[in-house]
């Protein structure tokens, strides 16, 4: 048997000004060919699970592409064609199965439904080819995606720590189908609701209820796989929002029944999926009154792993205004500042406008730097291997990085975007996060995997950025309407 195994992942924020070229899809760009194996084997990606399954089966396999980028604006048209073209070329040589590790919320410059377009092209090129797809919990599901594959399973955790398990799950269903042991029959659907990302954590709340229901349908043997998606709301495309997909064995009406249960449960919980922020000054004042750290200050409106520029300074400015002490910030992406600070050298004292270099035209906002006076303490190449529970083992780079010490506040200043989902973002520049009173994290939920074990308190801070939770900031034109909570759905 011959398998094609590929990863092509991006969550596209159509409001983000951050460009998404091929070089964003890995430390040195996307991996192609045999390099994919070395990059991801032994990791906890769905792709890693597919490699293990192929070896267990004694199948030959090729890996045309393995590419994953932090969320940002729509994928550059050339990058999309390079990745999709590599997969199609390998499929075109003939294979018995295709195992895909996708995101489910990819928008390219040319296609609103990046995954639907890819799967449609593959189906046209290879009708009848068995195709397994692993998807992110933040998938914006479409008819083209479901109609053009054999079996589809999504993550059940946020932070996403079950990527490997989901790949293994999707892959095993496909192997069962190849062996004639099961006959996957899928049903999908959505509800007119646009849940807030901050309400999709799976440790508690409405998303946990949906995940528990999906697990139960799997564990009782009712269906082969059941997935509830929260969706990715910062995409102005028709199908953004909550959905579900279920894979039954042979009988599509069983899949439909479980799908309806999941979607009805999501709709019943629609109010619990709405996030209500408090004013930023109140959040920082609450933080100031706390005695024991680390206190996590979550700058969620500028989350790099949802498309944030990661250089807005509103939360930092308020922290400095209220005079908090013993603060570390991860991270401020500012390549110009990094160059300037590296040129100055370790020990140099600098006054510079930090952050605020990238404008956000979709929000009608200019970048606003914040003047900082500090000393360059550490210069690093920004490379580290993730040791925490999310993306364990993944080689990561922040680009050249600097620790700028402004006395009461220490900044990790980097060339590239990275969501602080691992303690490595601090360790890399010589900061021990367990010893700081306050940690500012430009993150929404993923920080929880590595930082909750060291945190005494968490305070969500409603700053500025293209990953904000105030939907009135965003101009939706293509999104299906009416939709809750944008429209009155009574």
**Site residues (CB under 5 A) for Zn ion?**
136, 138
Nearer to Zn ion, 59 or 66 (CB): 66
CA gap 215, 227 in Å, rounded? 8
Nearest to 425 by CA among 266, 310, 309: 310
* Rounded CA separation 55/48 (Å): 11
Closest CB to Zn ion among residues 309, 391: 391
| Locus of tokens 């109609």 | 147
Least distance CB 441 / Zn ion (angstroms) = 16
CA dihedral 301, 303, 308, 311 (to 10 degrees): 90
Q: How far is CA 445 from CA 131, 217, 419, in A?
A: 31, 26, 10
Peptide bond just before 159 cis, omega within 30 deg: yes
Least distance (Å) between residue 10 CB and Zn ion: 11
What is the closest distance, in whole angstroms, from the C-beta atom of residue 232 to Zn ion in the complex? Answer: 7
Q: Measured on CA atoms in the order 8, 303, 13, 357, is the torsion positive or negative?
A: negative
- Report the Cα 243 to chain-centroid distance in Å: 17
Q: What is the closest distance, in whole angstroms, from the C-beta atom of residue 133 to Zn ion in the complex?
A: 15
Q: How far is the CB of 43 from Zn ion (least distance, A)?
A: 17
Q: How far is the CB of 227 from Zn ion (least distance, A)?
A: 13
Q: Which residue, 112 or 136, has its beta carbon nearer to Zn ion?
A: 136
Closest distance of CB 136 from Zn ion, Å? 4
Nearer to Zn ion, 74 or 433 (CB): 74
By beta-carbon proximity to Zn ion, the closer residue of 136 and 209 is 136
How far apart (Å, rounded) are the C-alpha atoms in residues 66 and 317? Answer: 39
Say how far apart CA 333 and CA 341 lie, in whole Å. Answer: 13
Closest CA to 350 of 336, 362, 363, 361: 336
Q: Are 419 and 305 in contact (CB under 8 A)?
A: yes
User: From the CB of 428, what's the least distance to Zn ion, in Å?
Assistant: 24
**Residue 390 or 479 having the CB closest to Zn ion:** 390
Q: What's the half-sphere exposure (Cβ side, CA atoms, 13 Å) at 246?
A: 31
Shortest distance in whole angstroms from residue 137 CB to Zn ion: 5
Q: Which two tokens stand for residue 331?
A: 């991270």
Minimum distance from residue 162 beta carbon to Zn ion (Å) = 12
Give the phi and the psi of residue 247 in degrees, each rounded to 5.
-110, 115
Q: Which is nearer to Zn ion, 136 or 422 (CB)?
A: 136
Residue with smaller CB distance to Zn ion, 403 or 466: 466
One DSSP character per residue, 17-29 reads: -S-B-GGGSSBTB
DSSP state of 108: B
State which residue, 117 or 136, has the beta carbon closest to Zn ion.
136
Q: Which residue is nearest to Zn ion (CB)?
A: 138
For residue 205, CA distances in Å to 23, 72, 135, 282, 299 come to: 37, 27, 21, 24, 21
Residue closer to Zn ion by CB (options 62, 202) is 202
User: Can you read off the two tokens belonging to residue 328?
Assistant: 């570390």
In angstroms, the CA 415 to CA 398 distance is: 6
If the CB atoms of residues 68 and 397 are measured against Zn ion, the closer one turns out to be: 68
**Angle ∠(471,474,480) on CA atoms, nearest 5:** 80
Q: Least distance in Å: CB of 160 to Zn ion? A: 6
């Amino acid at each position: 048997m011959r398998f094609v195994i590929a990863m092509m992942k991006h969550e596209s924020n159509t409001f983000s000004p951050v460009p998404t070229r091929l070089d964003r899809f890995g430390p040195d760009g996307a991996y192609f060919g045999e390099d994919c194996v070395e990059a991801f084997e032994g990791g906890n990606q769905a792709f890693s699970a597919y490699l293990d399954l192929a070896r267990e089966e004694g199948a030959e396999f090729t890996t045309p592409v393995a590419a994953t980028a932090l969320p940002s604006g729509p994928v550059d048209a050339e990058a999309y064609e390079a990745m999709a073209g590599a997969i199609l070329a390998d499929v075109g040589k003939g294979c018995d199965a295709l195992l895909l590790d996708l995101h489910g919320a990819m928008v390219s410059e040319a296609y609103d439904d990046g995954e639907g377009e890819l799967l449609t092209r593959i189906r046209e090129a290879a009708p009848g080819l068995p195709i397994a797809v692993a998807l992110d919990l933040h998938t914006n599901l479409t008819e083209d995606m479901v109609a053009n594959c054999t079996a589809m399973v999504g993550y059940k955790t946020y932070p996403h720590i079950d990527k490997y398990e989901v790949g293994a799950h999707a892959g095993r269903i496909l192997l069962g189908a190849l062996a004639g042991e099961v006959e996957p029959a899928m049903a999908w659907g959505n509800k007119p609701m646009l849940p807030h990302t901050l309400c999709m954590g799976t440790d508690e709340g409405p998303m946990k209820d949906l995940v528990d229901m999906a697990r139960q349908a799997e564990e009782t043997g009712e269906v082969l796989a059941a997935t509830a998606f929260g969706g990715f709301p910062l995409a102005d495309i028709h199908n953004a929002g909550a959905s579900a997909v279920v894979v039954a064995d042979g009988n599509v009406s069983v899949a439909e029944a479980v799908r309806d249960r999941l979607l009805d449960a999501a709709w019943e919980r629609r109010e619990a999926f709405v996030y209500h922020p408090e004013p930023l000054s109140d959040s920082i004042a609450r933080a100031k009154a706390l005695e024991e750290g680390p206190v996590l200050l979550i700058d969620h409106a500028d989350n790099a792993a949802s498309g944030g520029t990661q250089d807005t300074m509103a939360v930092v400015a308020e922290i400095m205004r209220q005079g908090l002490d013993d603060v570390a910030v991860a991270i401020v992406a500012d390549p110009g500042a990094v160059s300037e600070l590296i040129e100055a050298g370790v020990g140099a004292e600098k006054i510079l406008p930090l952050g605020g270099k990238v404008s956000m035209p979709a929000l009608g906002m200019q970048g606003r730097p914040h003047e900082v006076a500090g000393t360059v303490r550490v210069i690093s190449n920004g490379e580290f291997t993730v040791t925490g529970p999310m993306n364990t083992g993944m080689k990561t780079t922040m680009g050249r990085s600097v620790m700028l010490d402004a006395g009461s506040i220490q900044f990790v200043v980097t060339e590239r975007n990275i969501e602080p989902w691992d303690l490595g973002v601090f360790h890399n520049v010589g900061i021990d996060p367990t010893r700081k009173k306050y940690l500012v994290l430009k993150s929404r939920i993923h920080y929880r995997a590595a930082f909750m074990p060291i945190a005494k308190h968490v305070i969500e801070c409603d700053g500025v950025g293209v990953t904000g939770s105030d939907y009135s900031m965003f101009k939706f034109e293509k999104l299906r309407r009416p939709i809750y909570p944008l429209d009155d759905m009574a």
